[in-house]
Structure 1
Amino acid sequence: MALKTKEEIFNKIKEDLVALFELDEDDICMESRIFEDLDLDSIDAVDLIVKIQKEIGKRISPEDFKQVRTIGDVVEVLYRISNS
């Protein structure tokens, strides 16, 4: 799946978060903090990354996600990877 724009990436992440973790779509925005606001843990984050890797068809290294704190951070990393 080609996710080229930040909006496409954000919408896919939101869709995955709702499907995987039964989060309310209205609670997910670019400023949402992954651990504090969405109450995900590190295992959940890994599950999300694995799902996204399959969707974009590119490997995501743990280094890429070291500084990620918000959904906006995830979008930025995925945008960079998808368009490289």
Structure 2
Amino acid sequence: MDIKEIIQRTNAFLMEEFEADPAKISPEANLKSTLELDSLDYIDLVVVIENNFGFKVNPEDFQSIVTFQDFYDYVAHRVKQKALV
């Protein structure tokens, strides 16, 4: 799975699950404020990621995720790790 496919899949479920405005989703946008995430939303986001990409998310990993690009890179890295196992 390449980064373009990851971005497309990620944006699709963000728009569906979190009713995100596609016009506001950009690599440099702040993930938390754009999606208006609270602590419960983060739990939902973890579940959606695990279901869509098939890997377990460590909650502490979100501490370093600020932008959508950070999020895409995280998912891409974890998908790549999963493929190597």
The root-mean-square deviation of aligned C-alpha atoms, in Å, is 1.4
Higher relative contact order (CA 8 A, sep 6+): 1
Q: 1:30-69 alignment to 2 at 5 Å?
A: 30-69=27-66
Question: Do the aligned residues in 2 keep the contact of 1:32 with 1:38 (CA within 8 Å)?
Answer: no
Give the drift of 1:72: 0.6
Cα distance in 2 between the residues matched to 1:42 and 1:69: 15
Give the drift of 1:12: 1.4
Cα distance in 2 between the residues matched to 1:15 and 1:26: 13
SS in 1 for 2:44: helix
Is 1:7 matched up with 2:4? yes
Instruction: Write 1 or 2 for the structure with the bigger share of helix.
Output: 2
Give the fraction of aligned pairs with identical amino acids, expressed as a percent: 30
Q: Which amino acid aligns with 1:40?
A: L
Moved beyond 6 Å, runs of 4+:
none
Is 1:28 matched up with 2:63? no
Cα distance in 1 between the residues matched to 2:68 and 2:17: 15
Q: TM-score, normalised by structure 1?
A: 0.83
Q: TM-score, normalised by structure 2?
A: 0.82
Structure 2: gaps (5+ residues): none
Aligned residue in 2 for 1:72: 69
Question: Do the aligned residues in 1 keep the contact of 2:18 with 2:35 (CA within 8 Å)?
Answer: no
Question: Do the aligned residues in 2 keep the contact of 1:56 with 1:82 (CA within 8 Å)?
Answer: yes
